[in-house]
């Protein structure tokens, strides 16, 4: 028996030749450089993206997703915001091309209700994007959200403080953003189909 045959009997070996990822087209982020870095050339669809920010509220990541929200708001589906920390400002969103009539703002009381609402919205195929502001949350809860997103085929975005970066996460994509005046500094902590990527700057507008 040849070595190749022997190796093929082992279930724990990953063979590079078998690797043919079925890539779902993503949702264009609006930043060319970022699109190039992501599988499917955009934010993953049917999956959850975590965006970690230095400010504890998680307000800093909204600017990064607004260009894709502007595109998604042309669809006849909801864009759901669960527990935004401040008032999402209508004139600012409109100025960036977001059709705000597609926005659904939820302010559930407590973490349990927030997770429930996120899961419902992600699971329903009535939403194009679901944004959630969560602090500390268990990996099990994140996995549930990831599964729900796969069912509803919507894009989930969770904004969390950078302090959770050390905790492992089951989500598809994890980024860290840092504002830098007119630009933002991006770090890809985890992505599918490739290695992490450190410190790149893209224009914030």
Interacting residues toward another protein by CB under 8 A = 54-55, 59-60, 62-63, 66, 76-78, 85-96, 99-109, 113, 116-117, 120-121, 124-127, 178-182, 185, 204
Q: Using CB atoms within 10 A of its CB, is residue 101 exposed (0-12), middle (13-18) or buried (19+)?
A: exposed
Nearest distance, CB of residue 163 and another protein, angstroms = 15
Rounded Cα distance between 167 and 165, Å, is 6
Nearer to another protein (CB atom), residue 41 or residue 120: 120
Please state whether 203 falls in left (phi above 0), alpha (psi between -120 and 50) or beta. beta
**128 phi/psi in degrees, rounded to 5:** -85, -35
Nearest distance, CB of residue 200 and another protein, angstroms = 15
Nearer to another protein (CB atom), residue 22 or residue 87: 87
Nearest distance, CB of residue 175 and another protein, angstroms = 16
Nearer to another protein (CB atom), residue 39 or residue 130: 130
> Are the C-beta atoms of 131 and 82 separated by less than 8 Å?
yes
Nearest distance, CB of residue 50 and another protein, angstroms = 19
- b/e per residue, 19-37, with b = 16+ CB within 10 A? eeeeeeebbbbbbeebbeb
Nearer to another protein (CB atom), residue 47 or residue 122: 122
């Amino acid at each position: 028996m040849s070595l190749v045959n022997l190796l093929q009997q082992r279930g724990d070996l990953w063979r590079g030749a078998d690797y043919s990822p079925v890539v779902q087209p993503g949702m264009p982020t609006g930043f060319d450089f970022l699109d190039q870095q992501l599988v499917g050339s955009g934010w993953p669809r049917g999956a959850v993206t975590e965006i970690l920010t230095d400010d504890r509220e998680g307000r800093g990541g909204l600017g990064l997703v607004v260009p894709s929200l502007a595109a998604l708001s042309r669809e006849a589906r909801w864009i759901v915001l669960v527990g935004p920390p401040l008032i999402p400002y209508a004139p600012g969103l409109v100025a960036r091309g977001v059709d705000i009539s597609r926005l659904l703002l939820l302010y559930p009381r407590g973490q349990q209700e927030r997770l429930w609402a996120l899961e419902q919205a992600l699971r329903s195929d009535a939403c194009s994007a679901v944004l959630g502001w969560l602090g500390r949350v268990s990996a099990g809860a994140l996995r549930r959200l990831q599964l729900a997103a796969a069912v509803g085929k919507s894009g989930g975005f969770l904004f969390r403080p950078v302090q959770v970066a050390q905790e492992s996460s089951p989500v598809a994509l994890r980024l860290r953003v840092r504002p830098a005046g007119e630009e933002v500094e991006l770090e890809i902590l985890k992505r599918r189909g490739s290695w992490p990527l450190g410190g790149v700057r893209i224009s914030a507008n």
